[in-house]
């Protein structure tokens, strides 16, 4: 879940469709969290995301330069999970 919540796609999706492009504030409470679409994935796919989240946490605490690389790789995995096309990804990347 942490990997999804920190991905560009879920950030963009929640901003556009759940918070309706909120200008002032975006409260992350139970009324909104249930509106995030969570894909059904295998245990192996879950493990792959967990591994990337662990890498990101480690990179962040060590001020490692590979944080941005791992973050973009995780975003790519999330895009694939949701079945987004290259055009969709370009739009999200440009508007996020």
35-46 tens-digit pLDDT: 888 899 999 999
**Cα(19)–Cα(34) distance, rounded to whole angstroms?**
13
Give, in order, the Cα–Cα distances in Å from 38 to each of 33, 62, 64, 96.
10, 30, 30, 20
56-89 tens-digit pLDDT: 988 888 877 888 888 999 999 999 999 999 999 9
Per-residue model confidence (pLDDT) at position 64: 75
User: What mean pLDDT comes out for the span 8-18?
Assistant: 86
Helices (H), the chain: 2-5, 8-13, 30-33, 43-61, 67-81, 86-95
Q: How many CA atoms lie within 13 A of 28 on its CB side?
A: 6
State yes or no: pLDDT of 21 exceeds 70.
no
Q: How many CA atoms lie within 13 A of 61 on its CB side?
A: 5
């Amino acid at each position: 879940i942490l990997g999804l919540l920190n991905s560009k796609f879920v950030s963009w999706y929640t901003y556009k469709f759940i918070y309706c492009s909120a200008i002032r504030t975006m409260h992350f409470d139970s009324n909104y969290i249930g509106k995030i679409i969570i894909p059904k994935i295998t245990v192996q796919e879950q493990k792959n995301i967990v591994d990337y989240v662990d890498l990101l946490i480690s990179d962040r605490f060590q001020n490692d330069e590979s944080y941005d690389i791992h973050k973009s790789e995780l975003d790519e995995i999330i895009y694939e999970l949701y079945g987004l096309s290259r055009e969709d990804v370009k739009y999200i990347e440009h508007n996020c």
